[in-house]
Structure 1
Amino acid sequence: MLNRYLALLPAAGFLLASLAWAVDKDNDKAPEGFVSLFNGKDLSGWTIPEGDGGHWKVVEGVIDYDAASESAGDKSLWSDRAYGDFVLQVDWRLKEAPFINKSIPYILPDGTHAKDVHGKELRLPMPDADSGVFLRGDGRFQANIWCWPIGSGEMFSIRTDPKTTPDLRAAATPSTQADKPLGEWNHFEITVKGKTVKVALNGKTVIAGATIPDLPARGKLAFQHHGSKNKEGAWVGPPSLVQFKNIYIKELK
């Protein structure tokens, strides 16, 4: 009986591997009504920064970045096409966070920074990494990806702009922290319609609707570069040690 059981193990292993492969292949399929922006093989449909040096690349079926683009200009990875109203789905993960950010703010629900009894802003030293999804062709309009306690999905440049109204500042601040632990995959669903941006992270709505008066009508998407090293090879800012996969878009009419 034992010998028969042992003989079946290779076949069972093959069956399990086949099922796992089938599940992975299903994950490559665009949801109904969406089209894929990434073929899992190369960066067709995306504009690699000129002089990048191979730092934006595809590794084992995902877009991989090491935050070390050699481009003399913009180092972010931009889509070839521009989009107006859309729903974007994308899986992302931060591979590691080797930089200690000594100045991460304690952000309140209204988007302002908490202060101590002396009126000094509270700052937290924490491991940090940083990327994001640029919307409609401008890095000012982005859903952040990082390690901050406020959580990813925040629209940092909108929240921190002195000209932003209190209502918009609160709307651009995540209502909850929905990130998975560092190194695990997360899922964004970003809806841009008219002047309004909504962001869901791992099935939780974090930006219910930030209506931005100067949001352009159309523009390209981008995955953000962030971070650099000093002469000694140490990071001087939180780097974009990030990966992306399962990138799908549905244009809205």
Structure 2
Amino acid sequence: MTLRTWLTAVLAALAITCSPAMADDEGWTWLFKDGSLDHWIVPEGDNGHWKVLTVDGSPVIDYDARSEAPGDKNLVTREEFGDFVLEFEWRIKETPYINPNIPYVLPDGTHARGVDGKPLKLALPDSDSGVYLRGSSKSQVNIWCWPIGSGEVYGYRMDGSLPPEVRAGVTPKTQADKPVGEWNAFQITMKGDRLTVVLNGVTVLEDAQLPGIPERGNLQLQHHGGFRDGKYTGPPSLVQFRKIRIKPLD
């Protein structure tokens, strides 16, 4: 092999290695960085409600909670993943809906009750979204305005058939959210059926067990809420996402 042929082969290999669609030297793959939705499936019939905007000089995935898709309205990755570390930034844009049914969640994941024995309910401004892990709505890491904070796994916390330690494990240890309108950073680690969630540098879930979670599946950015007669009928997913990357561990 001549020197020129060898250099050509090396340069070709480097071009493949550095392709934006592939992992970098540390194993990370960008799912959204430069404004492309190539890694994502926009729901059929959405009509432009999941879109890309530029905010503060950076491309973001923007959603207005009004997708016109007749079926599932979530934004879904084309790829499936098993064990991984997922990092991204998100923010809630606004909270025009008042949710009258926000519970007072105790550290063990159950709901506090008043002197009458009924669950306490709070009426608070609320927007609601999240990310489904391995294609499962039950394993959604929540993004919302509840006092309990983002990062909890509602589907497991509310499953009364699960052991108390599982329900407590998916309940955030603290509220680490920034105020509405500000950017938050998630680091989500999934290994087997164990989940760790770090929000803005604070570990809110650590080694929480998700019994029965699929071994592999896609990621989904959640649609939530309805819109009728000029107003939202439930907590809307008025959210933006940016700098989404994933490192497969398997």
**1:56, 1:66 within 8 Å by CA — same for their partners in 2?**
yes
User: Which letter maps to 1:83?
Assistant: F
In the alignment, what sits opposite 1:77?
Answer: 75
Distance 1:32 1:252 in 2: 11
The CA distance in 1 between the partners of 2:116 and 2:64, in whole Å, is 40
Aligned to 1:252: 249
SS of residue matched to 1:220: coil
Conserved in 1, the CA contact under 8 Å of 2:50 and 2:63?
A: yes
Q: Deviations over 1:34-76 (max 9, x none)?
A: 1211132221110000000011010011000000100000000
Deviations 1:158-208 (A, max 9, x none): 100121210000001000000000010000000000011111100000011
Of the three residues 169, 172, 197, the one matched with 1:171 is 169
Distance in 1 of aligned mates of 2:44 and 2:208: 33
Partner amino acid for 1:162? G
2:130 & 2:84 partners in 1: Cα distance? 17
Answer whether contact 1:42 1:57 (CA < 8 A) is retained. no
Q: Structure 2 length normalisation: TM-score?
A: 0.87
SS at 1:83's partner residue? coil
Q: Is structure 2 residue 238 aligned with structure 1 residue 241?
A: yes
Instruction: Report the AA paired with residue 210 of structure 2.
Output: I
Check if 1:36 corresponds to 2:30: yes
- Structure with more helix by fraction: 1
1:150 to 148, 151, 162: 148
Correspondences of 1:51-66 after superposition (within 5 Å)? 51-60=45-54, 61-66=59-64
Structure 2 CA distance for aligned equivalents of residues 180 and 39 of structure 1 = 22
In structure 1, the residue corresponding to 2:70 is in which secondary structure? coil
Tell whether 2:203 aligns with 1:205: yes
Question: Higher mean Cα deviation, 77-86 or 157-166?
Answer: 157-166
Cα pair 1:64 1:242 within 8 Å, conserved: yes
Length-normalised TM-score, structure 1: 0.86
Cα contact 1:40–1:58 (8 A) shared by 2 = no
In structure 2, what is the equivalent of residue 229 of structure 1? 227
The aligned counterpart of 1:21 is: none
Count of aligned pairs: 224
Query: Partners in 2 of 1:120 and 1:68 — Cα distance?
Result: 34
Deviation track 1:126-176 (CA, whole Å, cap 9, x = no partner) reads: 000000010001111110000000000010011001212100000010000
SS of alignment partner, residue 155 of structure 2 = helix
Partner secondary structure for residue 81 of structure 1: coil
1:217 corresponding residue in structure 2? 215
